[in-house]
Amino acid sequence: MELRALGIDAEQERIYRHLVSAGPAHVPEVAAGFGLDENRAAHVLDALTTAGLASRDDDRYIAAPPEIALRALLVRRRDELGRAETALAELTELFRASAAGRSVRDLVEVVVGVDGVRQRFGQIQSGAARDLRAFVRANPMAVSAAQNTAEGEAIQRGVRYRVVVEKPVLAELGMLARAEESLDAGEEIRIMPELPLRMIIADGELGLVPLNSAGEPGAIVVHPSGLLDALIALFESTWDRAMALRPEDGSYAEDLTDLDRRIIALLLQGFTDNAVAKQLDVSARTVQRRIRYLMDEAQVSTRMQLGYRLSTLRRLRPGDAGGSPGQ
């Protein structure tokens, strides 16, 4: 259980847990047990007392029963969230009511600078409640795959995350493994030879399109409008035409090794033997040997026949699942 959502930081939570499990403690005991000086330990214990999670009896600090103390904090936080949701609904309605009188510049917000783009990118993902759609191209201008922590958080919240990745992205060392980790986490990823732009769209209500320019990097944030509708339509038409990175209908033989599955995924994207070997950190001879095995299993005599057989097996119906690295 994490208590950060209730306003209790990690250090306070560790010490509260200690009081709950080990019983009452003095400041010197807590300081020694957690590697703190006594002033810091006293400060944390006093903060727990103020939050209602502990009480003081002479020089000892005693944990308050979690069922009572934490429930009180939870009820208070729910009340705060309820008021925040009411304010959000009021502001959203006010925003929509004034939309008719807005000019074009009000429907498109310009963000300048890497930090600004990175902040908006994170905010859009963190604010998504239902779904996220994204186009990912090679050489991200603001947020790399490793930096995009908001992606995993969105998936954990139950947000559907669909991503179309440009083929050159998979050629980058380690990106196939990262994409597979994203698939395992619940993302849906499809591949296209190339994409016209980078973008991310949240809940069909807000979009971010990074802009390439000779000067300082920037992006436009697109609010509900005909432009956003066009971006959504572009994503959906591209999604329907793109190829899933991993078959989701169990069409591959279950006895294939992970290496074989990765080789197949890269072969179907048009990678050469040497490119596949580099990406998977194996020798080109190993790749060729596994392809020969796959040809024998598929009972075909040429690579073209193998490619056709595999692409036929893994072809998905439009709308089936098939999300991501960075922006």
Same domain, 122 and 228: yes
How many domains does one find in the chain?
2
Rounded to whole angstroms, the Cα distance separating 64 from 70 reads: 9
Same domain, 185 and 320: yes
Say if 60 falls within a structural domain: yes
Nearest residue to 279 via CA among 172, 159, 198, 147: 172
**For position 247, what pLDDT does the model report?**
60
Rounded to whole angstroms, the Cα distance separating 219 from 210 reads: 4
Same domain, 128 and 172: yes
**For position 250, what pLDDT does the model report?**
47
Work out the mean pLDDT of the chain and round it to a whole number: 80
Please give the average per-residue pLDDT across 59-67, as a whole number: 88
pLDDT tens for each residue of 257-307: 778 877 877 777 777 888 888 878 888 888 888 888 888 776 777 777 776
**For position 126, what pLDDT does the model report?**
86
Band of pLDDT at residue 242, cut at 50, 70 and 90: confident
Q: Please report, for the domain that includes residue 264, its CATH number.
A: 3.30.870.10
> β-strands 54-57, 206-211: how paired?
unpaired
**For position 215, what pLDDT does the model report?**
66
**For position 96, what pLDDT does the model report?**
66
Please give the average per-residue pLDDT across 7-31, as a whole number: 90
Is pLDDT above 70 for 312?
A: no
Same domain, 171 and 43: no
pLDDT tens for each residue of 136-188: 988 776 666 666 777 878 888 889 999 998 888 877 777 777 887 888 888 89
pLDDT tens for each residue of 26-44: 999 999 999 999 999 999 9
Same domain, 312 and 279: yes
Output the six-digit token pair for 268. Answer: 């179907």
Domain region containing 148:
108-327
Say if 102 falls within a structural domain: no
- Pairwise pLDDT comparison (129 vs 315), residue with the higher score: 129
Same domain, 314 and 180: yes
Please give the average per-residue pLDDT across 4-33, as a whole number: 89
| φ, ψ for residue 76, nearest 5 deg | -65, -45
Same domain, 126 and 225: yes
pLDDT tens for each residue of 66-113: 888 888 788 888 888 888 888 887 787 776 666 555 555 567 888 888
The residue among 75, 97, 119 that closes a domain is 97
Rounded to whole angstroms, the Cα distance separating 147 from 140 reads: 11
Q: At what angle do helices 258-267 and 273-280 cross, to 10 degrees?
A: 140
**For position 61, what pLDDT does the model report?**
93
Same domain, 121 and 191: yes
Instruction: Write the DSSP string, 220-261.
Output: EEE-SSHHHHHHHHHHHHHHHHSEESS-SSS-S-TT--HHHH
Q: Please report, for the domain that includes residue 51, its CATH number.
A: 1.10.10.10
pLDDT tens for each residue of 193-237: 889 899 999 999 999 998 865 667 888 888 888 889 999 999 999
Nearest residue to 8 via CA among 79, 71, 83, 70: 70
Rounded to whole angstroms, the Cα distance separating 175 from 169 reads: 7
Say if 103 falls within a structural domain: no
**For position 315, what pLDDT does the model report?**
43
